[in-house]
């Protein structure tokens, strides 16, 4: 589903990461962890075409980007990759002047040129899926953080992505609101969505992930099944990281 080879990204003199290799199977749930500043968000943004890497290659489904391609092909590849990936951010990023339903259906209505009736049907079914059909006409300011994030998930799903990327989706939420968001994510995982999740929610990682990837100092330092990573981390860097987040 996702194949990343020798991916590199720098901002000016700052090398965020280099030589990242990553293969993710369809329906796999990967949790990405690592210290702040280790490049987790940048990697997700590269996988979603929000940031352009400067070395290596990315394949998502049948969309392929490579640093060696010409500028026009790269641009097209990034556009293609973006249609295949849905992203959910720490700050929910809903449009404040649109209702929950309008937030969910805006992109498919425009990008997929869906007619209004069809878009509303899909939007309502997605809001039902995240348990918020009864809030469809509310504006974001009248929703709790957990509800806003669930609308953001529904909005990402509305484009029918082949994979979902979550960048610390519960970090901005009060602790009592994280559960409802994590349970929507678990439900998505159970339905077979391919997901990469950056999170500090180790309970979620233990319960839902097939694999944990630990990034630090611009590299993937270690990866393994959650039971292995949490119980017997192989590197001193990972042990130190786990001690700090406990
Ligand atoms: P993480 O998500 O693991 O905390 P980030 O991917 O956000 O890490 O950041 C990795 C490094 O890249 C940090 O040093 C950060 O300051 C830097 N960085 C991220 N985005 C930009 C940008 N647009 N311009 C310059 N530096 C950036
Ligand atoms: Mg980040």
**Nearest C-alpha to atom 13 of ligand 1 is from which residue?**
37
Q: Which of 15, 16, 35, 218 to mutate to test the pocket of ligand 1 (most atoms within 8 A of CB)?
A: 16
> What local confidence, expressed as pLDDT, does residue 107 receive?
84
Ranges of the chain whose pLDDT falls below 70 = none
pLDDT digits (tens, 9 = 90+) for 71-89: 999 999 999 999 999 999 9
**Does the beta carbon of 20 lie inside 6 Å of ligand 1?**
no
**Nearest C-alpha to atom 23 of ligand 1 is from which residue?**
11
**Does the beta carbon of 200 lie inside 6 Å of ligand 1?**
no
> What would the DSSP string read from start to end of 40-108?
HHHHHHHHTTSS--SEEEEEETTEEEETTS-HHHHHHHHHHHHHHEEEE-SS----TTS-HHHHHHHHH
> What local confidence, expressed as pLDDT, does residue 214 receive?
97
> What local confidence, expressed as pLDDT, does residue 87 receive?
96
> What local confidence, expressed as pLDDT, does residue 173 receive?
95
Q: Which ligand is nearest to the CA of 218?
A: 1
Q: pTM for this structure? A: 0.96
Could you give the ipTM of this predicted complex?
0.98
């Amino acid at each position: 589903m996702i194949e990343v080879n020798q991916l590199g990204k720098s901002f000016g003199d700052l090398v965020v990461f280099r030589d990242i290799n990553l293969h993710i199977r369809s329906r796999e749930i990967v949790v990405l962890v690592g210290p702040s500043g280790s490049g987790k968000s940048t990697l997700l943004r590269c996988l979603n075409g929000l940031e352009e890497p400067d070395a290596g290659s990315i394949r998502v489904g049948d969309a392929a980007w490579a640093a060696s391609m010409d500028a026009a092909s790269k641009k097209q590849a990034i556009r293609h990759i973006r249609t295949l990936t849905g992203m959910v951010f720490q700050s929910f990023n809903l449009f404040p002047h649109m209702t929950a339903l309008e937030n969910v259906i805006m992109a498919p209505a425009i990008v997929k040129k869906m007619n209004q009736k069809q878009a509303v049907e899909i939007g309502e079914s997605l809001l039902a899926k995240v348990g918020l059909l009864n809030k469809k006409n509310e504006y974001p300011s009248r929703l709790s953080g957990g509800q806003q994030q669930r609308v953001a998930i529904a909005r990402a799903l509305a484009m029918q992505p082949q994979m979902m990327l979550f960048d610390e989706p519960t970090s901005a939420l009060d602790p009592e609101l994280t559960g409802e968001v994590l349970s929507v994510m678990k439900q998505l995982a159970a339905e077979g969505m391919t997901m990469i999740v950056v999170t500090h929610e180790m309970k979620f990682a233990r319960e839902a992930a097939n694999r944990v990837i630990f990034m630090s100092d611009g590299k993937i330092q270690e990866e393994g099944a959650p039971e292995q990573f949490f119980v017997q981390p192989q590197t001193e860097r990972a042990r130190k990281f786990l001690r700090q987040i406990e």
